């Protein structure tokens, strides 16, 4: 029943994923989606130690990287669909 322990982490991981996605969107708004995702994954890997210490588990980031990557895709798709992330055409500078 080890998986149940990890399932209990989902709300905390989701909250962290969403907050980090929004932060990356604010800071790297001019970059491509792939570049933003790479920045996100690097930040998430750095923050993983905090999760390990807070929740007392030993799993490596690589064990969860695929799941987190999928979570990022879903969160970004939902935020795009709901208009939270609005695509705008930049005004040309004259």
What's the pTM value of the predicted model, to 2 decimals?
A: 0.69
pLDDT 10s digit of each residue in the chain, 94 long? Answer: 666 777 777 788 788 888 988 999 888 878 988 999 999 898 888 877 777 777 777 777 777 788 888 989 999 998 889 988 876 655 555 6
DSSP 60: -
The pLDDT of residue 88: 60
Domain boundaries, the chain: 8-81
**Greatest extent of the chain over all pairs of C-alpha atoms, in Å:** 62
Block residue for tokens 């905090």: 50
The pLDDT of residue 15: 86
């Amino acid at each position: 029943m080890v998986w149940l322990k990890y399932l209990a982490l989902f709300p905390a991981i989701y909250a962290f994923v969403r907050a980090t996605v929004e932060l990356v969107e604010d800071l790297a708004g001019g970059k491509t989606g792939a570049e933003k995702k790479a920045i996100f994954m690097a930040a998430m890997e750095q923050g993983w130690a905090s999760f390990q210490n807070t929740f007392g588990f030993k799993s490596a980031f690589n064990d969860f990287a695929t799941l987190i990557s999928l979570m990022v895709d879903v969160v970004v798709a939902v935020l795009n669909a709901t208009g939270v992330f609005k695509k705008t055409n930049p005004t040309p500078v004259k």
